[in-house]
């Protein structure tokens, strides 16, 4: 009995520590206190390992010269108010840009490979997930070829998302002259302090004048040609112009806090000669190079997915690269940084939601927001704003989908239109406001993107960009089913209990 009393007192002290540390975030404190009651002592250990303040601290990426940045008078009042409100959160203020919207992996990789092939001076890449599969190896080989041609290349991967990227590929890249670093690697001392803070960005900057960013990592699944994954819908961006300097600034900041790759030996691979005598082929179509494992699988799946990806936008896949369209816009670049008190991404979302006057369309694969974001959405409905939320019908991991369902009821009752994407994997992250403002990036509507991850998102001011994204949103609705309040009420008691239990873990999701 004595040890039980001791455990109770110890756990009480631990819960008091949580309550004091999270006094400014009562919802998060309540969640962790509940976890501490269910898992005495263990819950406090989880709290420390996931909520320990990031040790790498730096200033927020902002410019002192952005206060006077204003949109032309031709823009609506909501656009002007949002641009003005976001000015202190941006990397370098408001910039003109030309942007191409990329709505699937094949289109993204073809443009990326073409741009890498044309690089003359520098290539900087940072990815949360960079796989050593057919797409990954093709890009890796191309990077090695460009490095041997004299292009300076810096390669930054996240220590968790890209933990399976093999060391022998890193050695190949470094032997070719590519500088490689890992963001918070899963080794001492990072694993003891910063393991829960991840670099969720997917950014490439080429020659300081062209950049790619958005939701697409490097992996076969993003092409929609991987059989055990199936169709994959995402949104990525290709930007040209001075706005790429902002993404360069973000990359440099992340590069400076990342760890250089360590090699036990400087191996000179026998296959190095093969690398030089087998150059990367020209702009063959990506779908001709991605071959699902096994000939029987290839014959079954390649035609199906080539057709789906080709007809996705009403065009044939063979014409994707020849029909690129660069839209003119103004853009603000935002970086989410857990090393500073301001939750930049969350605050930006809140500003956009509260200043919308006509319409809000949101696409996100993970919807586990906090109370303020929910209130901002409900308040928008009360002002007469039409709000549509598009989320995947099947969420992976399932625990996130369970937690998400607990938010749908009150939103439906408030008047939000919720649609469940039913065609395949939905991974796009975007928000369109009043037909003139569009936010696209890597950040989700969840606590992790708001508080724990290094993120990047772009806020565009352009009726053309908003129109193109809205047209894609409308096409996505044809592949979705509306969610009704009756659908939630028909769920069994056990399912609802599991959903509520998953919501308790929202600080970790």
Can you tell me whether residue 78 is helix, strand or coil?
A: helix
Distance CA 32, CA 28 (A): 6
Active-site residues, by number, are 200, 202, 207, 427, 429, 434
115: left (phi over 0), alpha (psi -120 to 50) or beta: alpha
Is residue 237 within 8 Å of residue 213, measured between CB atoms? yes
Is residue 485 within 8 Å of residue 413, measured between CB atoms? yes
Distance CA 428, CA 233 (A): 7
R_g of the chain, CA atoms, integer Å: 23
Distance CA 280, CA 493 (A): 57
Is residue 19 within 8 Å of residue 1, measured between CB atoms? no
Kindly state the tokens that stand for 210.
């062209």
Percent composition of the chain: helix, strand, coil (DSSP 3-state, to 5): 45, 20, 35
Distance CA 262, CA 267 (A): 12
Q: How far is CA 495 from CA 28, 399, 402, 486, in A?
A: 23, 12, 9, 15
| DSSP per-residue string spanning 236-271 | EEEEESTTHHHHHHHHHHHHHHSEEP--SS----TT
Query: Within 10 Å of residue 23's Cβ, how many Cβ atoms?
Result: 9
Kindly state the tokens that stand for 491.
């769920």
Residue in the structure block whose two tokens are 């975030």:
25
Alpha helices in 151-260 (DSSP H): 167-175, 190-193, 244-257
Instruction: Give the HSE-up count for residue 63: Cα atoms under 13 Å, Cβ half-sphere.
Output: 19
Q: Going by C-beta distance under 8 Å and a sequence separation of 6 or more, which residues neighbour residue 211? A: 203, 204, 205, 238, 239, 240, 243, 244, 247, 248
Is residue 180 within 8 Å of residue 174, measured between CB atoms? yes
- The DSSP H or E segment spanning 334 is strand 327-336
**Could you check whether the bond before residue 397 is cis, i.e. omega within 30 degrees of 0?**
yes
Q: Strand 437-441 relative to strand 455-461: parallel, antiparallel, unpaired?
A: antiparallel
Give the dihedral of Cα atoms 367, 371, 373, 375; nearest 10 deg.
120
Residue in the structure block whose two tokens are 């823009």:
75
């Amino acid at each position: 009995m004595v040890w039980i009393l001791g455990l109770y007192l110890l756990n009480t002290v631990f819960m008091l520590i949580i309550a004091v540390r999270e006094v400014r975030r009562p919802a998060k404190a309540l969640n962790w206190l509940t976890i501490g009651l269910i898992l005495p002592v263990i819950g406090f250990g989880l709290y420390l390992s996931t909520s320990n303040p990031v040790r790498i601290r730096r200033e927020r990426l902002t410019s002192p010269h952005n206060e006077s940045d204003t949109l032309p008078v031709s823009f609506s009042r909501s656009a002007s108010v949002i641009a003005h409100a976001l000015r202190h959160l941006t990397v370098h203020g408001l910039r003109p840009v030309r942007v191409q919207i990329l709505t699937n992996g094949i289109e993204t990789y073809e443009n990326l490979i073409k741009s890498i092939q044309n690089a003359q001076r520098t290539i900087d890449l940072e990815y949360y997930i960079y796989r050593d599969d057919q797409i990954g190896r093709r890009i890796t080989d191309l990077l090695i070829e460009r490095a041997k041609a004299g292009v300076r290349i810096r390669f930054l991967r996240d220590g968790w998302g890209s933990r399976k990227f093999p060391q022998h590929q890193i050695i190949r890249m470094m032997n070719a002259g590519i500088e490689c670093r890992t963001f918070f690697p899963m080794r001492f001392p990072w694993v003891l302090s910063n393991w829960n803070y991840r670099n969720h960005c997917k950014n490439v900057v080429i020659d300081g004048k062209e950049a790619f960013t958005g939701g697409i990592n490097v992996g076969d699944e993003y092409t929609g040609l991987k059989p055990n994954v199936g169709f994959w819908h995402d949104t990525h961006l290709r930007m040209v112009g001075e706005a790429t300097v902002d993404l360069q600034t973000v990359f440099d900041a992340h590069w400076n806090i990342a760890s250089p790759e360590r090699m036990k030996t400087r191996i000179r691979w026998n296959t190095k000669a093969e690398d030089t005598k087998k150059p990367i082929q020209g702009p063959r179509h990506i779908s001709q190079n991605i071959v699902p494992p096994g000939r029987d699988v290839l014959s079954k799946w390649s035609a199906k997915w080539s057709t789906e990806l080709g007809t996705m936008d009403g065009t044939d896949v063979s014409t994707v690269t020849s029909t690129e369209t660069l839209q003119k816009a103004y853009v603000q670049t935002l970086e989410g940084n857990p090393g500073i008190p301001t939750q930049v991404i969350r605050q930006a979302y809140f500003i956009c939601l509260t200043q919308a006057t006509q319409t809000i369309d949101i696409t996100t694969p993970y919807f586990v927001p906090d109370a303020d974001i929910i209130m901002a959405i409900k308040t928008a409905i009360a002002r007469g704003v039409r709000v549509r939320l598009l989320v995947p019908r099947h969420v992976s991991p399932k625990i996130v989908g369970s937690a998400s369902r607990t938010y749908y009821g009150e939103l439906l009752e408030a008047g939000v239109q919720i649609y469940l994407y039913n065609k395949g994997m939905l991974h796009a992250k975007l928000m369109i406001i009043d037909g003139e403002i569009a936010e696209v990036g890597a950040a989700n509507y969840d606590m992790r993107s708001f508080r724990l991850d290094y993120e990047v998102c772009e806020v565009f001011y352009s009726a053309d960009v908003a129109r193109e994204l809205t047209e894609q949103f409308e096409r996505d609705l044809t592949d979705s089913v509306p969610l009704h309040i009756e659908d939630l009420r028909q769920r069994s008691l056990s399912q609802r209990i599991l959903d509520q239990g998953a919501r308790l873990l929202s600080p970790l999701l």
